[in-house]
Chains A and B, each alone.
Chain A
């Protein structure tokens, strides 16, 4: 019982039989704390969004029902390339804007392939416009203009892909335009000519 009796009494002096309090180690087992720390890290790692989503900025052509015809920007037939987006991620394109009813444009079908797809056609068109500029057929301010006409059967993927092609090929002037009934007719005819596909 002598060991228990350390604090009682008032005297500072401890008797010869009284033992000193055992010195406790200051070391604590940190393992549970580390466990907790890593648990929380895991939680935060899973809930966090590190990579911020990327965005594509898009400018639609200014539209106003009261806009006068002479204020609307005109696209030159020779600098224009019209791209029609159709079903099954198919892409149709033709030179010019297809405004001449007597001389209907010849549609070509292609896809978004890396090689031999629409990208090559855009590059070819840019080269053609550059050549015409050098030959003096076009003014120095003229540049390749691409009209994008997504058909009702196309998907959002197609739209983003074609807009992406614009930035990949550094096309400065392009516009998303509503598809006309005439263009839909062109697609229909081309599909039939290709065996109804």
Chain B
């Protein structure tokens, strides 16, 4: 039998197409990306069937962790700057310009006012550690209580930006009284409408919500 020798092919592949794809995807991800915000604490949100997405702007986020510690954050950097100026005046904290800027570029705050200055003085890498051991913002059921510092935060934030939507992100295992204190504080400022952040779960088949969703889907078609 004669051995037909195959022509030796080059192992070089044209990379151009692959390069195109890679950069196309890269562009997509770069444009679509929104960096995960720094979260002060790990929070496991409970699931619900609600599908209302979290608004992009004007969000005040109140995080309540497992132990009931409250963290406060708002989204816009400029807003954060005016908020800290407002708080500084309101509570006579005597913050320096550098400390105010540190607040403006930072994320959530979970320290009482008497620790705020030293918290903002800490370098950014230490601030994360500080958050892990923070006591949380003191909160109470009544807004008139001077120890209810969350009430002061909310008041100042709403003065800076009245359009703020209030979102509560609480851990599923947080006790109800700790959540209730935050809700009571909101009620004290006459805020009766707010959002609870939940993860998504499927609508149970056969339930009233399921039937409504089906009817809505049929209407569309």
Within 8 Å CB of B23, what residues of A? 37
Instruction: Render A129-161 as a binary contact track against B, CB cut-off 8 A, 1 for contact.
Output: 000000000000000000000111111111111
- The answer to whether B53 and A48 touch across the interface, beta carbons within 8 angstroms, is no
Closest to A169 in B: B208
Within 8 Å CB of A52, what residues of B? 53-54
Chain A interface residue count, Cβ-Cβ cutoff 8 angstroms = 52
The reply to whether the CB of B4 lies closer than 8 angstroms to some CB of chain A is: no
Within 8 Å CB of B217, what residues of A? none
Q: Which of B43-102 contact A (CB under 8 A)?
A: 45-54, 64
Within 8 Å CB of B171, what residues of A? 156
Interface centre among B29, B192, B209 (most CB of A within 10 A): B29
- The answer to whether B207 and A168 touch across the interface, beta carbons within 8 angstroms, is yes
- The answer to whether B22 and A34 touch across the interface, beta carbons within 8 angstroms, is yes
Chain B interface residue count, Cβ-Cβ cutoff 8 angstroms = 58
- The answer to whether A168 and B15 touch across the interface, beta carbons within 8 angstroms, is no
- The answer to whether A85 and B176 touch across the interface, beta carbons within 8 angstroms, is yes
Within 8 Å CB of A31, what residues of B? 15
- The answer to whether A58 and B194 touch across the interface, beta carbons within 8 angstroms, is yes
Please measure, in the bound complex, the distance between the C-alpha atom of A50 and the C-alpha atom of B54, giving whole angstroms: 12
Please measure, in the bound complex, the distance between the C-alpha atom of A169 and the C-alpha atom of B15, giving whole angstroms: 56
Closest to A40 in B: B26
Within 8 Å CB of B16, what residues of A? 30
Cβ 8 A contact of A59, one of B34, B192, B208: B192
The reply to whether the CB of A33 lies closer than 8 angstroms to some CB of chain B is: yes
Distance in angstroms from B101 CB to nearest chain A CB is: 24
Can you list 5 A-B contacts (CB < 8 A)? A48-B35, A54-B53, A54-B197, A164-B49, A167-B48
Chain B residues proximal to chain A, CB less than 8 Å = 15-16, 18-19, 22-23, 25-26, 29-30, 32-36, 45-54, 64, 167, 169-177, 179-180, 183, 186-187, 190, 192-200, 203-204, 207-210, 212
Extra A-B contacts (4), CB below 8 Å, given A54-B199, A61-B192: A53-B169, A54-B52, A57-B52, A150-B176
Chain A residues proximal to chain B, CB less than 8 Å = 29-31, 33-34, 37-38, 40-41, 44-45, 47-64, 85, 114, 119, 123, 150-161, 163-164, 167-170, 176
